[in-house]
Structure 1
Amino acid sequence: RVWCVRADDAEAATAWTPATGRDAGVTVAVLTGHDPRRSAAVRDAIVEGLRDGSIAAPAHRARTPFVALVGGGPGDPDLITVRGRRLLAEADVVIADRLGPRDLLDELPPHVEVIDAAKIPYGRFMAQEAINNALIEHAKRGRSVVRLKGGDPFVFGRGMEEAQALAAEGIACTVVPGISSSISVPGAAGIPVTHRGVAHEFTVVSGHVAPDDPRSLVDWASLAKLTGTLVILMGVDKIGKIADALIAHGKNPDTPLALVQEGTMAAQRRVDATLATVAETVRAQEVRPPAVIVIGDVVTEGPDRPVDRHGDGTPPSRG
């Protein structure tokens, strides 16, 4: 009746020690019967979850409130950074964009206040001034606030406007970079934005203002002369005018083009066209925002088989 831990033979042992791990003052001990390898695997999963924020374990001790502008990536919840997910798990208030990883909001504890800052094209939206005021108000109340944005906070995300509004009130904020849809969405559809011997540069442009609009800050004539890849965000409804402008300034009408709708999400689809045919293709295929537009020879350089985004053998749809 001697208790004996057998490291060489778990079945022959009469006692078993837990697999233990530590993170930020938390000790995790796991026992799974007579299977030490499973114990270690479960321990590792729990410790990793504590570190990346996927397992929320808020401390009851006093902590310093914070404001964080978090880039949530292109939409797939697995593509948020580890730091962004950890801060999200520690938040009291989350002000979330429509294009952020909204599935993560379902994992938040019941006490977390979620404010919808959706900006739907030609639909409902929360004015930028109202977003700024909400950040300031909750920060001054001593709450931990996360501004959850799609992509990266400083890539067409108005993150600097929010940081400036906070700074004007004496409130510091942390900026957590995110994976921009300008590179991640083409990649998820099997399109490299650069490729050896094809494109040595890529340019990211906002397409929310048409080329003939006096508010446009884009030099479309110069862009038409570039030989690299052109990536356009927020340009689905203006793509006809954009294509016309590029062609008028010398771009080959047969330049290949791809539109990737709902990139990295379950509903992702890719629609291919050329500069000359894209306007009609968008109408015929009913392409809707959000969609990333890629223009250039890299569009035809993808693998023969569409990229498997989820690692389960199921490729995305291709229009």
Structure 2
Amino acid sequence: MKESSRGRVYLVGAGPGDPELLTLRAARLLGEADTVVHDRLIHPGVLDHARPRARLIYVGKEGGGESVRQEDIHAVLIAQARLGRKVVRLKGGDPFVFGRGAEEALALEAAGVDYEVVPGVSAGIAAPASAAIPVTHRDVAGEVTFATAHRAEGAPDWSFLSRARTLVLFMAGRRLDEATRALVDAGRESHTPAAVVEAGTWEHQRVVEGTLGDIAARARQAAIGAPSLLVVGEVVTLRARLPSLVARGGTMGDAAVPPRAVEAGHE
């Protein structure tokens, strides 16, 4: 971190959606910030923690639609800090888990702007848990692999991912057919249990279960949208053994619930 700028930027994880999963430190910083620079997929209840006079700057990204360029986001953060402001850069989930927080940290470092990273609860853990799917279990899966279906450096290594005991695939919604087909082609059995969790931990969360061979069709039939995660592995079968958790709202709704319109975009 640098000490040459008067202001400071906090790269803050907002968690997976549910405002009650916001960390205490994140809530405190929001209440102190002069400027809050936030993504599209931030629950309004999280922004309620911002102080009334704070400046809110939207820099959302939408897959297939209009987006604020990453370089422009860097410029906003640097400019606000150089004005001497306390800036919260609010990002969904955890800033360093498929959230481009590392790119922003590197840009701030290069610009000599003081900054700090405040971790958040990743959707990769929270969304399956809220759907009553433990990503690990001593007798079922002692490891979990997190990956993204959308990456700048080329196609995922499907051969590697196909061998994961539990695979949690971020940004899977728009590439679900491609991803599931690639995993089967790479050697994963088509009857492997799978689930898609849409809008994990939000009020309109929905879950579709199936197998690797049919989950894409099931999700399409249910009009599942983004943000959504794909979970592949035997851990998905544990959901049926946790009916009390499901009944208490471990899922906020399954695919039988009429679909609510959810914007497609960066997850």
8 Å contact 2:39–2:92 — kept in the other structure? yes
Letter in 1 for 2:220: R
8 Å contact 2:132–2:250 — kept in the other structure? no
8 Å contact 2:10–2:89 — kept in the other structure? yes
Answer yes or no: is 1:120 the counterpart of 2:59.
Answer: no
Answer yes or no: is 1:215 the counterpart of 2:160.
Answer: no
Q: Per-residue CA shift, 1:167-225, capped at 9, x if unaligned?
A: 1111120100011000111001100000121101000010125xxx9822x22112223
Deviation at 1:98, TM superposition (A): 1.5
Task: Specify the SS of the correspondent of 2:128.
Answer: helix
Answer yes or no: is 1:318 the counterpart of 2:260.
Answer: no
TM-score normalized by the length of structure 2? 0.88
The percentage of counterpart residues that share the same residue type is 43
Deviation at 1:77, TM superposition (A): 0.8
In structure 2, C-alpha distance between the alignment counterparts of 1:220 and 1:247, rounded to whole Å = 9
Letter in 1 for 2:190: P
Partner of 2:162: 224
Equivalent positions of 1:174-193 (< 5 A) are: 174-193=116-135
Q: Per-residue CA shift, 1:20-74, capped at 9, x if unaligned?
A: xxxxxxxxxxxxxxxxxxxxxxxxxxxxxxxxxxxxxxxxxxxx74210000100
Partner of 1:47: none
Partner of 1:164: 106
Answer yes or no: is 1:264 the counterpart of 2:206.
Answer: no
Partner of 2:260: none
Unaligned runs of 5+ in 1: 1-63
Partner of 1:194: 136
Unaligned runs of 5+ in 2: 1-5, 256-267
TM-score normalized by the length of structure 1? 0.74
Pick closer, same or farther for the CA change 1:84–1:187 going to 2, 3 Å. same
Letter in 1 for 2:38: A
Partner of 1:52: none
Partner of 2:19: 77
Give runs of ≥4 in structure 1 deviating > 6 Å. none
8 Å contact 2:193–2:210 — kept in the other structure? yes
Partner of 2:146: 204
Partner of 1:31: none
Equivalent positions of 1:230-269 (< 5 A) are: 230-269=167-206
Partner of 1:282: 219
8 Å contact 1:199–1:229 — kept in the other structure? yes
- Give the number of the structure with larger relative contact order, counting CA–CA contacts within 8 Å between residues 6 or more apart: 2
Q: Per-residue CA shift, 1:141-171, capped at 9, x if unaligned?
A: 0011000000000001111111111111111
8 Å contact 2:33–2:51 — kept in the other structure? no
Pick closer, same or farther for the CA change 1:101–1:214 going to 2, 3 Å. closer
In structure 2, C-alpha distance between the alignment counterparts of 1:148 and 1:214, rounded to whole Å = 25
Task: Specify the SS of the correspondent of 1:137.
Answer: helix
Equivalent positions of 1:46-61 (< 5 A) are: none
Pick closer, same or farther for the CA change 1:277–1:234 going to 2, 3 Å. same
Task: Specify the SS of the correspondent of 1:225.
Answer: coil
**Aligned Cα RMSD in Å?**
1.9
Q: Per-residue CA shift, 1:2-34, capped at 9, x if unaligned?
A: xxxxxxxxxxxxxxxxxxxxxxxxxxxxxxxxx
Deviation at 1:306, TM superposition (A): 5.6
Task: Specify the SS of the correspondent of 1:292.
Answer: strand
8 Å contact 1:201–1:229 — kept in the other structure? yes
Task: Specify the SS of the correspondent of 1:307.
Answer: helix
